[in-house]
Amino acid sequence: MAHERAIALRVAGRFATAERACRRALAGYEVGEGRRHPDVANALCELGVILEARDRPRDAAACHRRAIAILKPLVGSENGDPDLLRLALQARIALCGLDRARGALAAADRGYHKALSEARRRLPPRDPLIGSLLNNLGVLRKAQGRYAEALAFYRRALPLVPRGDREARATLEHNLGGSEHARGRYVQAEPHARRSVALRSAALGPHHPAVAADLAALAAIVEARGRFDEAARLYRQALAVFRRKLGPASLELGLGVASLAALEQQRGRFSRARPLYARALAILERLLGKDHPDVAMTVNNLAVLERDAGRLARARAGFRRAFASFQRMLGPRHPHTRLARDNSRAVLKRGASIRR
């Protein structure tokens, strides 16, 4: 069956082939069962997940919105089919995730809380979908710079993950490690990151893009602990998977190249870091736009490099751009906004002292 094949291909990280199989399944359902059938909604949700993995968020969102429109009259009553309710909630969660990924954090927050309220009202209290919502709220809180709250959401989600679901447990371990990393608690972060790699490798195999994302997260923690050679090896291992599985201009590859650039910068290898930053920015700006927080952080880090290399005019321009983007997207109190503002002020003072 094309739908089952699409799921298997997506789990294996073969996203282009998965998309073709899923579109065949969707067309078959539409012809055989009608465009408003729940099976059509199910295939649309799967297609949305695949398209997001292929860096096509607008197409993914359109799939999830169409699925929600099909399911809405079927799950409106309190006695509606619980499986269809879960499918509708999964589509809404996916839309919130797409909002979060594009930097629309307030919209994501509203959507997650609305979905969580409905899930708690209509599903059993220990339903795994509630755990998934708590985990997603943790990811959102981390993006908002509210790291302690993120950690609390992850810990609330952990008991709701089924014991046999290694991939879901790996995701939570990944997120727990990321939250500790963001708080500067690198010793506490590393065991979570290593468990994430081990669990997801066992579930999906060592060459899956999701495992590579775990490796990149572990590399960032290892880098923060000063083990630069190990971090470089992990980054390059992850980049090889991203390049092979997702292509030379994917979002994951762009983020990984930016991380490798920051590592080379840490090692004082400015001539290696600068072209890596340029390559990362070309990918990230194309996929995310010039104001996205991930783009702004890469601009900020490149500005740090220019400052350390004595190119103060370029550094000032980079810090100003990063600060403006962070302020627009994340607000004036976010840690990233304060970082770029402080960097901008410091380089202005440095320039003034040199002129005197």
Residue 277 maps to a domain: yes
Residue 300 sits in a domain of what CATH number?
1.25.40.10
Overall domain count for the chain:
1
- Structure-block tokens of residue 260: 């490798």
Residue 118 maps to a domain: no
Q: Which of 271, 2, 336, 65 is nearest to 57 (CA)?
A: 65
The CA distance from 161 to 87, in Å, is 18
pLDDT reported for residue 355: 37
pLDDT reported for residue 350: 67
The CA distance from 282 to 173, in Å, is 31
Residue 124 carries which side chain, given as an amino acid letter?
P
pLDDT reported for residue 354: 41
Residue 292 maps to a domain: yes
pTM, 2 dp: 0.90
- Residue 178 in contact with residue 141, Cβ under 8 Å? no
Residues with pLDDT less than 70, the chain: 77-79, 350-356
Q: By residue range, what is the domain housing residue 305?
A: 250-356
Residue 354 maps to a domain: yes
pLDDT reported for residue 76: 75
pLDDT reported for residue 347: 86
CA 189 to chain centre: 18
3-state secondary structure of 132: helix
Residue 311 maps to a domain: yes
Residue 316 maps to a domain: yes
Side-chain-side CA neighbours of 143 within 13 Å: the count stands at 22
Where do we find the tokens 């679901």?
165
Residue 196 maps to a domain: no
Residue 217 maps to a domain: no
